[in-house]
């Protein structure tokens, strides 16, 4: 008996059909790869980041594969933009099922004693406050609809430490704490 591998493969890759997913930090790297994979698995994807050209290019790639995606420019450092991102997602697709909070920054890798308050603010605003605001507003929408999944990307930095990255590591440990508590 011959198996139709295309059909079998398609069935395996579409477990998220009808789901709506927001991916922050979707302009490159893990965020872009996650947005693409969610779309390939059947989700309607809202790709979000600060850099419009990159997320528009990603959405064009997703659409070129016959999949559904929308680009929304938002900076997780600005709570109003996070609120607007969640609202626009619900206005566009009617609900929010999955949120992948990936936006963040590494900051500067320098000795601990040379880290500045400005670098601290930059890292903690994006990596901790941005995740907090994202979770807060995504969770409100998901609680109102009765379901949803939030995934926060903390990196290996959330469970280990390494030299010259004290602020980055501390911020990723904080992401794990927020995630565990929520």
Tens digits of per-residue pLDDT, 148-182? Answer: 999 999 988 899 998 899 999 999 999 999 999 99
Q: How confident is the model at residue 2 (pLDDT cuts 50, 70, 90)?
A: very low
Whether the CB-CB separation of 16 and 38 falls below 8 Å is answered with: yes
Q: What kind of architecture, by CATH, is found in domain 15-181?
A: 3-Layer(aba) Sandwich (3.40)
168 is catalytic: yes
- Listed residue (32, 3, 9, 35) closest to 21, CA to CA: 35
Q: How confident is the model at residue 128 (pLDDT cuts 50, 70, 90)?
A: very high
- pTM assigned to the model: 0.90
Q: Which of 100, 124, 133, 168 is catalytic?
A: 168
Sign of the alpha-carbon torsion through 45, 51, 56, 58: negative
- Rounded Cα distance, 144 and 74, in Å: 23
Which pLDDT value is given to residue 166?
94
* Residue percentage of the chain with pLDDT more than 70: 92
């Amino acid at each position: 008996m011959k198996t139709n591998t295309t059909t079998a493969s398609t069935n395996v890759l579409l477990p998220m059909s009808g789901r709506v997913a927001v991916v922050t930090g979707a302009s490159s790297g893990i965020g872009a790869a996650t947005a693409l994979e969610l779309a390939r698995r059947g989700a309607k994807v809202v790709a979000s980041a600060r850099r419009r050209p990159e997320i528009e290019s990603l959405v064009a790639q997703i659409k070129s594969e016959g999949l559904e995606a929308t680009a929304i420019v938002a900076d997780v450092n600005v709570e109003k933009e996070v609120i607007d991102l969640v609202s626009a997602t619900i206005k566009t697709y009617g609900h929010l099922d999955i949120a992948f909070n990936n936006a963040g920054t590494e900051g500067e890798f320098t000795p601990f004693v040379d880290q500045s308050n400005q670098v601290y603010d930059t890292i903690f605003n994006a990596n901790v406050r941005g995740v907090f605001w994202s979770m807060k507003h995504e969770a409100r929408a998901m609680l109102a609809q009765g379901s949803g999944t939030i995934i926060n990307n903390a990196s290996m930095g959330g469970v280990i430490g390494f030299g010259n990255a004290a602020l980055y590591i501390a911020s990723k440990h904080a992401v794990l704490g927020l995630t565990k508590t929520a």
